[in-house]
């Protein structure tokens, strides 16, 4: 019998707790529900009971939601932390961003609340997987979140964020500056004149894309990658760029919001971070896995599963979970080969990255001997978008400048 998910709701308004209790009545088969009327009562419960998820209001007397979530980290650090509030005071929400995994605005439909809790719990289980811990424990040290990215994120999330200050932070790293200028001058942007300075590039790209580029570039620098007979770090870097730009363009074509387009870009940049970990940690063994995948005519992630008990998708999601990246990005990394496992049933950033990854894998073959993963036709059918394939090919060609000649394939599960 599957163990129930323990969820604690905290709100000083008894009528709100009663409404949540009624809304979630159908979930009692799957969730063990508990309710607390104050932060103090919630902490008392958590000191004596293991809990998977806490959902708290923001504005409460004596102890607000941000303070409560900070205190829960000391008691149960692995617990999923969700803010559910109608409180719109920006600074108080900003105070909670560190300890908070998700923010949901009141009134929140039951379907949204349920899907958010299920999704975050599923992703936390990925990053707590014992097999993954075994793989990652073989790293001499788990890299910290890159310092330049941390500084950049602090600036971007500050109330008075400045593009000029962002440009100055990036400019301190010449290699980073060169990579960003390479992107801004690519076919995707189609600018009439080459961009020569980082300030202009930051103005054109915006903070979120700059943030994604900085993180990806620093990850490549952090892991001491040595090319081998089966692996080229430059090919993987170019693949990430192609997927990120194509995914962002496909999400835009599908009418997705700016936030979803930015998630598609970030997810595209980071979707294969697990390959860097495996390649760095198991250099010789990884070469064997690549050759084994070629010989068995199977996809690389399936060969990884057989050899390591975990694929690059799970390993990458694990690392990004440790770093505290958003659930949307972790989900993209975890499920970019199997998008049907995601929790969003609409066209979303994961959809765009799945499509872009399949398109580029047919052209920019990082592992020439290994069969590329095709599109998940069953998943695309469920969204009624499988007929858009030729348009996606056109977008890919426009964005990357690469001529596409591949055909859609169903993945071999």
What residue spans define the domains of the chain? 5-128, 136-400
Instruction: Give me the tens of pLDDT residue by residue for the chain, a chain 413 residues long.
Output: 457 899 999 999 999 999 999 999 989 988 999 999 999 999 999 999 999 999 999 889 989 888 999 899 889 887 888 888 775 554 455 555 556 777 787 788 888 888 888 877 776 677 566 666 666 656 554 566 677 888 888 888 788 888 899 899 888 888 778 878 887 887 777 777 888 889 998 888 888 888 888 888 888 777 766 667 777 778 888 899 999 999 999 999 999 999 999 999 999 999 999 988 888 878 788 888 988 988 888 889 999 988 888 899 988 888 887 677 888 899 999 999 999 988 777 899 999 999 999 999 888 777 766 777 788 989 999 998 877 888 999 999 998 888 766 554 443 33
- pTM greater than 0.75 (yes/no): no
Helices (H), 137-272: 147-156, 163-171, 174-184, 198-205, 207-222, 233-253, 258-270
pLDDT value of residue 333: 95
- Please give the C-alpha separations between residue 300 and each of 19, 307, 361, 372, in angstroms, as whole numbers: 48, 11, 12, 8
Three-state SS for 235-248 is HHHHHHHHHHHHHH
Nearest CA to 350 out of 275, 405, 409, 270 is that of: 270
Q: Is the dihedral of CA 411, 380, 353, 398 positive or negative?
A: positive
Instruction: Determine if residue 52 is left, alpha or beta; phi over 0 gives left, psi from -120 to 50 gives alpha, anything else beta.
Output: alpha
Per-residue tokens: 176? 């980073």
Q: Do the Cβ atoms of 236 and 177 come closer than 8 Å?
A: no
Listed in sequence order, the residues at least 6 apart from 139 whose beta carbon sits closer than 8 Å to its beta carbon are: 277, 280, 281
Domain spanning 5-128, CATH class? alpha beta
Domains 5-128 and 136-400 share a fold: no
Alpha helices by DSSP H, listed for 10-129, are 14-23, 39-48, 65-75, 90-96, 110-127
Closest CA to 12 of 44, 43, 45, 35: 35
Q: Give the separation between CA 271 and CA 264, rounded to whole angstroms.
A: 10
Nearest to 138 by CA among 333, 285, 335: 285
Q: Give the fold, CATH level 3, of 136-400.
A: Hypothetical protein af1432 (1.10.3210)
| Residue 102 DSSP symbol | E
Burial class (CB in 10 A: 0-12, 13-18, 19+), 399: buried
Residue 57 is encoded by which pair of tokens? Answer: 């209001």
Give the total residue count for the chain: 413
Number of H helices, E strands in the chain: 21, 5
Query: Residue 297 CA to chain centroid, in angstroms?
Result: 29
């Amino acid at each position: 019998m599957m163990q129930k998910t323990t969820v604690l709701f905290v709100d000083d308004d008894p009528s709100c707790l009663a409404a949540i209790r009624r809304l979630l009545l159908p979930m009692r088969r799957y969730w063990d529900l508990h309710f607390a009327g104050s932060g103090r009562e919630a902490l008392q419960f958590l000191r004596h009971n293991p809990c998977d998820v806490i959902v708290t209001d923001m504005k409460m007397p004596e102890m607000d939601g941000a303070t409560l979530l900070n205190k829960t980290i000391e008691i149960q650090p692995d617990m999923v932390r969700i803010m559910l509030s109608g409180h719109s005071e920006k600074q108080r929400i900003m105070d909670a961003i560190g300890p908070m995994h998700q923010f949901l605005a009141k009134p929140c439909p039951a379907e949204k609340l349920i899907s958010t809790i299920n999704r975050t719990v599923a992703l936390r289980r990925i990053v707590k997987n014992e097999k993954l811990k075994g793989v990652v424990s073989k790293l001499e040290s788990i890299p910290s979140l890159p310092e330049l990215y941390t500084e950049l994120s602090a600036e971007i999330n500050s109330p008075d964020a400045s593009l000029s200050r962002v440009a100055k932070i990036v400019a301190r790293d010449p290699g980073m500056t060169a990579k960003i200028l390479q992107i801004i001058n690519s076919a995707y942007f189609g600018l009439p004149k080459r961009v020569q300075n980082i300030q202009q590039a930051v103005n054109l790209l915006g903070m979120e894309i700059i943030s994604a580029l900085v993180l990806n570039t620093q990850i490549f620098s952090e892991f001491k990658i040595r090319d081998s007979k089966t692996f080229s770090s430059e090919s993987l870097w170019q693949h990430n760029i192609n997927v990120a730009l194509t995914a962002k363009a496909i999400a835009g074509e599908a009418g997705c919001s700016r936030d979803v387009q930015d998630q598609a870009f970030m997810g595209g940049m980071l979707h294969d971070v697990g390959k860097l970990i495996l390649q760095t940690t198991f250099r010789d063994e990884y070469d064997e896995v690549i050759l084994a995948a070629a010989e068995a005519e199977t996809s690389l992630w399936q060969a990884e599963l057989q050899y390591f008990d975990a694929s690059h998708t799970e390993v990458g999601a694990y690392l990004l979970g440790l770093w505290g990246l958003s659930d949307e990005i972790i989900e993209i990394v975890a499920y970019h080969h199997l998008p049907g496992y995601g929790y969003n049933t609409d066209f979303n950033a994961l959809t765009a990255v799945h499509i872009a990854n399949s398109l580029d894998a047919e052209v920019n073959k990082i592992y020439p001997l290994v069969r590329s993963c095709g599109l998940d036709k069953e998943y695309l059918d469920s969204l009624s978008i499988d007929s858009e394939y030729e348009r996606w090919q056109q977008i890919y060609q426009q964005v990357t400048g690469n001529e596409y000649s591949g055909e859609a394939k169903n993945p071999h599960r």
